[in-house]
Amino acid sequence: MATTFRELLSNVKREIREVSVEEVRRLLDTRTPVKLVDVRESDEHSAGRLPGALHIPRGYLELRIEEQARRDEALVVYCAGGTRSALAVRTLRDMGYENVASMAGGFNRWSDAAYPVEKPLVLSAEQKERYRRHLILPEVGEAGQTKLLKSRVLLLGAGGLGSPAALYLAAAGVGTLGIVDMDVVDLSNLQRQVIHTRERQGQPKVESARAAIEALNPDVKVVPFAERLTSQNVLRILEGFDMVLDGGDNFPTRYLLNDACVVLKRPNIHGSIFRFEGQVTTFVPGEGPCYRCLYPAPPPPELAPSCAEAGVLGVLPGIIGLMQANEALKLILGKGQPLTGRLLTFDALGTRFQELKLRRDPKCPVCADGAKVEFIDYEQFCATA
């Protein structure tokens, strides 16, 4: 016997659980663990959404929900008026989501009650085309691309490591890139520092890098710092950035950067290279060791030659710098397993990777519980260690 849509909807609403907008507001106000799922179309969502709501258009719900929500999570689904969300809830129940409800009256009733509404960042047509390969990834999608566009990453150095990292972070749509480097472009840089060109010899590296990034992706704002990192400016420079990519080539700067990241609780994605070997790890304050746990004291200068003294294979910093960029993207998106507590080494001649486990030093003078950190300029410390 045929069933009308009205009869179908009536039957569905008897089967599912509905909650009022007042109940949803109470859940948000009391910070009750619940995930809001907006199943409206993109043009509806762009006009406003409930605070923190996850956007999955109804036509993609079955395809994407498993990537975005666990079956044991509490979910509240809403649409414009409560019809699509009711049908969506029945589908989710069929998929094994038990703790799921539809918001009666939908976004229209929420808006009529003058409850808080967020205005989401809406991708332009050009951005949707540019980031299309990201948008079709369930792990990224429009929500993830929005996170990238809102993120702020600081790169220490526009050299061998910073060059490839900056280009690929910019291409991925990381919205703000800070670059710290007081050097100028030299012909000898071009063997590995791919962000610079022969025509920009003699220019400050931060300006050369900015020109390359802006030509690649106008979505990205570049904040240049043509200065050396010191104990006086480190907090000013790091403030306002979400994380740091350490592409420094000297121990004093690495130690100072580490201390500041611990104090400010900023992830520090460390990379280093030497001849044919490189390494990368991610230091996340409170979740693993810091740089001083790994290297309590720097080696004497005669055992730590620079690339200018020892040489480096041109592609090696590209490989390590891209690994650093990959770590940054994972942290921004909240996906994958960062290299926290793990040191990944790479031998370019043997094409071999090796992973070493890192442990936090309970007596570390910087990240140990109760440690008091005072910023110093480490030149003398490193020279005498």
In the chain, where the domains are located: 5-120, 151-384
User: According to the model, what pLDDT value does residue 252 have?
Assistant: 87
Lowest mean pLDDT among 181-185, 300-304, 328-332, 377-381: 300-304
The 10s digit of each residue's pLDDT in 347-362 is 999 999 999 999 999 9
**Alpha helices in the chain, H assignment, sequence order:** 5-15, 21-29, 42-45, 61-68, 83-94, 106-112, 125-130, 132-135, 141-150, 162-172, 205-216, 234-238, 251-264, 291-294, 307-310, 316-333, 379-384
* 5-120: CATH topology: Oxidized Rhodanese; domain 1 (3.40.250)
User: According to the model, what pLDDT value does residue 50 have?
Assistant: 96
**CB of 292 within 8 A of CB of 366?**
yes
The 10s digit of each residue's pLDDT in 234-279 is 999 999 999 999 998 888 899 999 999 999 999 999 999 999 999 9
**Phi, psi (degrees; rounded to nearest 5) at 18:** -115, 145
The 10s digit of each residue's pLDDT in 59-116 is 999 998 998 899 999 999 999 999 999 999 999 999 999 999 999 999 999 999 999 9
**CB of 189 within 8 A of CB of 204?**
no
Segments of 336-376 assigned E as strands = 342-347, 352-357
In the structure encoding, which two tokens stand for residue 44, read together?
Answer: 């509806």
The 10s digit of each residue's pLDDT in 181-223 is 999 999 999 999 999 999 999 999 999 999 999 999 999 999 9
**For a pLDDT cut of 70, what percent of the chain falls above it?**
95
d(C-alpha 177, C-alpha 154), whole Å:
6
By C-alpha distance, which of 219, 275, 278 is closest to 246? 278
> Angle formed by the axes of helices 83-94 and 61-68, to 10°?
70
User: According to the model, what pLDDT value does residue 385 have?
Assistant: 41
Res 321 pLDDT > 60: yes
**Phi, psi (degrees; rounded to nearest 5) at 135:** -65, -25
| Contact partners, residue 149, CB within 8 Å, separation at least 6 | 121, 173, 174, 175, 219
Which residues are bridge partners to 245 per DSSP? 155, 269
User: According to the model, what pLDDT value does residue 305 have?
Assistant: 59
The CA–CA distances, whole Å, from 227 to 93, 174, 182, 244 equal 58, 23, 5, 16
- CATH superfamily assigned to domain 151-384: NAD(P)-binding Rossmann-like Domain (3.40.50.720)
Coil vs helix vs strand at 265: coil
User: According to the model, what pLDDT value does residue 291 have?
Assistant: 95
